[in-house]
Structure 1
């Protein structure tokens, strides 16, 4: 069975909105507020994650963002993202054009559950805020990998909004990335 892995860049106060500053959010662009070493080490972590994943799962907006940027890039990270199987959850996209992409339509919980059954490795979810909330609410997430940036925004869409129930987590790894980023990995404690 596959494992759903949420991989998110988050501010210290849990904001995930507009990290690159391209969405027009007044506090966006916070990814670039770290030094060169941080960005270089972040890129190594992200590349290793992609190389170790079986597939990518994205919501429509994140799919459109990624598919507009990655096909023209080269290198190990780009080659992996461009070649790996990609699944996009959307009710409006009928034909996904990014190489090796499949549209999952209909009931999100049913479709993602079936995908987990078919897969054998990590299915990584990048960005995709609405999809992440749905996956968390329906307890389909097997692991959270959070790259924490040293900035407090005070406003914006957060990784964890209102949830239907509490979900205890277990810390399975933490480490410093570069000079000021922290990567933490949690797994849900389903039997707690």
Structure 2
């Protein structure tokens, strides 16, 4: 059975919006302002994560964003990401931008539950903060991995939106990545 894992970079105050500054958000670009010497260790973490994953799940905007950055790359990380099956949640797309993509329609709960039964291993959610909010709200997320970067963005869309109820989490792993990044892994706690 598959596990849905949200894996993302976040500012210290929880902002996930426009980390590279390409979306025109006035506070965007915070990632490159602080990654500096920690980039090799940061990349090593995500390479290892990708190599252990079975699939990617994302929204249409993230599909286009990642495709524009990864399709022309080579190497272990790029080869794995480009070859991995991708499931794109969209009610408007006819074709995915990235390779090996399958469009999931509007019945998110049914389609993602089906994916979890069909795919063995980790199904990573990269970017796609709106999708992440919906997955959390529908109790489809099994684990959350956050790379907490040493910067206060001050404003912007945050990793966690308003939820209909309390969502207990259990810390399962922490690590320092480079000299200034903290990796946090939480398991979603379900009753029963």
Q: How far 1:189 sits from its partner (Å)?
A: 1.1
Q: How far 1:190 sits from its partner (Å)?
A: 0.7
Aligned pair in 2 of structure 1 residues 68, 35: CA closer, same or farther (>3 Å)? closer
Residue equivalent to 1:19: 19
Per-residue deviation, residues 93-146 of structure 1 (Å, max 9, x unmatched):
112253211111130111111111101100000010110000000110000000
1:73 aligns with 2:73: yes
Which segments of 5 or more consecutive residues in structure 2 lack a partner in the other structure? Answer: none
After TM superposition, the score normalised by the length of structure 2 is 0.97
Residue equivalent to 2:34: 34
Q: How far 1:3 sits from its partner (Å)?
A: 0.2
Q: How far 1:67 sits from its partner (Å)?
A: 1.1
Rounded to whole Å, the distance in 1 between the matches of 2:11 and 2:156 is 10
Rounded to whole Å, the distance in 1 between the matches of 2:36 and 2:69 is 21
Residue equivalent to 2:61: 61
1:120 aligns with 2:107: no
Residue equivalent to 1:162: 162
Per-residue deviation, residues 13-43 of structure 1 (Å, max 9, x unmatched):
1000000100111111111122433111111
Moved over 6 A (4+): none
Rounded to whole Å, the distance in 1 between the matches of 2:100 and 2:35 is 34
Rounded to whole Å, the distance in 2 between the matches of 1:97 and 1:64 is 5
Rounded to whole Å, the distance in 2 between the matches of 1:112 and 1:101 is 15
Residue equivalent to 1:181: 181
Per-residue deviation, residues 137-190 of structure 1 (Å, max 9, x unmatched):
011000000000011111100011111111010000000000100000001111
Rounded to whole Å, the distance in 2 between the matches of 1:121 and 1:35 is 29
